[in-house]
Amino acid sequence: MRLPIYLDHNATTPLDPDVFEAMRPYFLEKFGNPSSVEHYYGHEAAEAIEQAREQVAGVIGARPEEIVFTGTCTEANNLAIQGVARAHEDKDHFVTSVIEHASVLQTFQWLEKHGKKVTYVGVDEYGRVSAEEVASSITRTTALVSIMAANNEVGTVQPIAEIGRLCEERGVLFHSDLAQAAAYLDTNVQRDHLHLASLSAHKAYGPKGVGALYVRSRSPRARLMTHVFGGGQERGLRSGTISTPQVVGMGVALVRSKAVRVGEAARLRGLCKSLLETLREATDRVVLNGHRTLRLPNNLSISIEGVEPHALIRSVRGSVSFSASSACSTREVRTSHVLVALYGDDWRARNAFRLAPGRFTTDAEADAAAAAIGSAARRLRLTTASEVSN
């Protein structure tokens, strides 16, 4: 059976075959516990983890000892925010944006329930945060600012270097969720004035089930409280036996992504441009969401007036796979908080969906997907118009 064309790479990416081959031995022959360094098998696993730590650090301009491996990027976000809050009890204020990932927003909401104060900075119509507004939100009791590098829904890239500089000038720690950025954007934690940064493997053609948190060790040191208690692994911040295969895969995946980043970014921008042009030729009232140029190269957030995204997804399910920006449950369809922040709760927010090609998407697949989606959108609009007239 021919599988549907996959255009949901902002949700997850397929595992790169080279990454899988690097991981394979650590599932089978090299299975030791990396904490058992006194014997051959444990030492072998520990060396592999330290190599991966060096690889991840090298990709973002960090020191190896500043990389803490976690189970997911969500966990890394939680460790950064909760870790700072618990380590700085004398400071009760935090700053973030209204379009952050749920793992960030819900952690801040949890802090608010426990007596902390959080300022939620808004965005412009392109989903861009103002560095000046972030800076003006900082007070003498601000412990942390957390702004994602690039939005997963509309693709807008944030001015994190400018925000980081302003935070550093004010003596406030700055954290960024780099989940979407690692595969396609040039990020350097020193240049961008980052003190904490969360990373995901499976958004960069690596395995699911592993993430990492960069924790600056000096000038200034980012001080965190322990997240998971136990055997004291990962600098005592996140105890538990590390999954050697996943960590190895993350290191290789990020190195591989960095090596092909420039060429892939240019190619994917071209694919997204072609997708948008084909859709606009196929049907009218197609609008691009997010920033026109300052965006992830593989993200195409679109709204088509009169076309409901979930109906569109169902109509092409056998040929194309992509995501709606609204969340669908058994009881209701909930409009994305990101799109509402940009456009309010109108048709543009409700009708948003995301096409995200990736490393293995071909030109022919992109053309076929656009044709299928365009044709389905025309049919749905005609059906809707007919139902309204009747």
Return the pLDDT at 332: 61
State the amino acid at position 314 in one-letter form. Answer: R
| Residue 289: strand pairing partners | 301
> How would you class 55 by CB atoms within 10 Å of its CB: exposed for 0-12, middle for 13-18, buried for 19 or more?
buried
Q: Do the beta carbons of residue 65 and residue 223 sit within 8 Å?
A: no
Report CA 162 to chain centroid distance, whole Å.
20
Mean pLDDT check: name the lowest of 39-43, 62-66, 378-382. 378-382
Return the pLDDT at 328: 45
Which pTM value belongs to this model? Answer: 0.94
Give every CB contact of residue 333 below 8 A, 6+ residues apart in sequence.
310, 326, 327, 350
Give every CB contact of residue 230 below 8 A, 6+ residues apart in sequence.
239, 240
**Strand pairing of 286-289 and 211-215?**
unpaired
* CA-based torsion, 162, 253, 224, 99: positive or negative: positive
The one-character DSSP state at 335 is P
Residues 139-196: tens digit of each pLDDT = 999 999 999 999 999 999 999 999 999 999 999 999 999 999 999 999 999 999 999 9
- Banded pLDDT at 38 (limits 50, 70, 90): very high
Residues 194-245: tens digit of each pLDDT = 999 999 999 999 999 999 999 999 999 999 999 889 988 988 899 899 999 9
Residues 313-342: tens digit of each pLDDT = 999 999 999 999 865 444 566 899 999 999
Return the pLDDT at 159: 98
> Would you name the residues annotated as active-site residues?
328
Structure tokens at 35: 């904490």
Structure tokens at 22: 């690097």
- Banded pLDDT at 385 (limits 50, 70, 90): low
Q: Domains in the chain, start-ordered, CATH in brackets? A: 5-11+260-389 (3.90.1150.10), 17-256 (3.40.640.10)
Task: Report the alpha-carbon distance of residue 338 to residue 362 in Å, rounded.
Answer: 29
* Residue 245: C-alpha distances to residues 52, 85, 136 (Å): 10, 32, 44
